[in-house]
Amino acid sequence: MVFILTEKSIKREQWGSKLGFVLAAVGSAVGLGNLWGFAYRSSQGGGAAFVLLYILVVLVVCLPIFVAEFALGRNTSTSAFLAPIKAAGPRWAPLGWLFLIAPLAIASYYAVIMGWTADIFIQSLFVGLPLNPEESSSLFDSIHSGKRDLIGQIFSLGLGAYIISGGIKKGIEKLNKICIPILFIILISLAIWAAFLTNSGVGYRNFLLNFDINQLANPTTIRNAFSQAFFSLSLGIGIMITYASYLNKKSDLPKQAIQIASLDTIVGLMAGLITFPIIFSFGLGETISKSTIATLFITIPSGLGQYGSIGRLVAILFFGLAYIAAITSLISLLEIPVATLIDKFKIKRNLASILTVGFTFIIGIPSALSTNILGNIDAIANVLLILGGFLVSFLVGWVIPKTLDIELKNSGSSSLTKAYLKFMLKYVTPIIVAWGLIISVYDLLKGWLS
Ligand code: TRP
């Protein structure tokens, strides 16, 4: 009985400040998706064409959905699992389930990749880097074989549980206030360093300047652009609903959505400005074009390994940066189930965190044991994000437009902003996301069947 609280004793926590909320949302958005997903997806889908599509998806689709998630969260003041029912009735309960299952699925393999990141960080700090791609491959094989993998995963989940059990202000907000500034400092320093590498120009050209117009119609590039936009912005599965449920009534939602999306996109682009010069300066372009999830964990260490002690320092900073970015994202994924347990079953945050992390660990074991399974869960989860994005825009645009009205009014938005967002969420965003969803499902199935 100690863990059961009465309805009255639970007062919903709130963010300490507007900045705290924005930093937490940026912390959720900026993660492995920016540092690793952006590079590997843009190299798969032909550089600049992918980047262009990605930016279009962010502007036309993701920004309105951001505001829709914020409006839903702040208006209902409840976790993403319960918000659709509270806003639109029991028929929308399946959306709540999507918001519960998808973050758990992502957290399950995200923690595994964080384990790899921590392992390479420790390796760079205490042992040194591999000197060529072969050594790097065998290092990676040993990292993701069985026990070492599980230890990294458990460590990351344990850290996540520890932070999240501290609560909104003293756990999530505090961590982000410390981590986000550090993250930007490291990122800018590394981008400057990378600019001076011998072949940085070739890297930039492959990343941003290699524009192949045919790629714009390639289903894989389109799927990659949608997946990257949703994944990188933590959109489509209720993270932003949950975070906004701890907001007070006054903050300006559209403005905050723009701030968060811009910072996240800048980090994605800057990460490309770091990884591509490294990859091309060390002649690893071949490897990256056949890219899989694991590629960066092999190419970056072996590239930097050829660069002596400076390379080692850069590796420590890069993988340290990736880990910091990842922990602030992991806790946002864990917060949905935790908030759901608290809101629905009225159990204490500590217990909710332990239960969530324990469950996430168990369902993540297959991903820890096989990168193939991990890749497939990632691919499915990315389609679920797009599906969730479609349903949220449809819900807010068509079913509960009044909620949007109220929240935009509370935000103090201008009438132009209001009209624009209402129009987008009704007539533009749902249609484009539906199109992206169909292409993504088609492309995913085609990949599986071939
Ligand atoms: N956005 C994070 C990244 O780029 C990952 C993440 C956190 C996420 N929360 C999410 C992805 C919710 C999708 C949905 O690494």
pLDDT tens profile 169-209? 999 999 999 999 999 999 999 999 999 998 888 888 877 77
The residue whose CA has the least distance to atom 10 of ligand 1 is 234
Taking the centre of ligand 1 as the mean of its atom positions, its distance from the CA of residue 33, in whole angstroms, is 7
- Residue 380 contacts by C-beta under 8 Å, 6 or more apart in sequence? 105, 444
Query: CB of 28 closer than 6 A to ligand 1?
Result: yes
Cα–Cα distance for residue pair 78/343, rounded to 1 Å: 7
What global pTM score does this model have?
0.93
Q: What's the pLDDT score for residue 41?
A: 82
Q: What's the pLDDT score for residue 286?
A: 64
Domains, the chain, ordered by start? 7-449 (1.20.1740.10)
Q: What's the pLDDT score for residue 264?
A: 95
Q: What's the pLDDT score for residue 164?
A: 96
Beta strands in 66-121 (DSSP E): none
Q: What's the pLDDT score for residue 4?
A: 46
The residue whose CA has the least distance to atom 14 of ligand 1 is 234
Q: What's the pLDDT score for residue 213?
A: 87
Taking the centre of ligand 1 as the mean of its atom positions, its distance from the CA of residue 384, in whole angstroms, is 13
Taking the centre of ligand 1 as the mean of its atom positions, its distance from the CA of residue 392, in whole angstroms, is 17
The residue whose CA has the least distance to atom 6 of ligand 1 is 234
Taking the centre of ligand 1 as the mean of its atom positions, its distance from the CA of residue 8, in whole angstroms, is 33
In 142-169, which positions are buried (b, 16+ CB within 10 angstroms) versus exposed (e)? ebbeeeebbebbbebbebbbebbbbbbe
Query: CB of 240 closer than 6 A to ligand 1?
Result: no
Q: What's the pLDDT score for residue 272?
A: 87
For the chain, residues with pLDDT lower than 70 are: 1-11, 45-46, 285-294
Q: What's the pLDDT score for residue 142?
A: 87
Cα–Cα distance for residue pair 259/262, rounded to 1 Å: 5
Q: Give the DSSP per-residue string, 210-235.
A: -B-GGGGG-HHHHHHHHHHHHHHTT-
Query: CB of 242 closer than 6 A to ligand 1?
Result: no
Q: What's the pLDDT score for residue 171?
A: 95
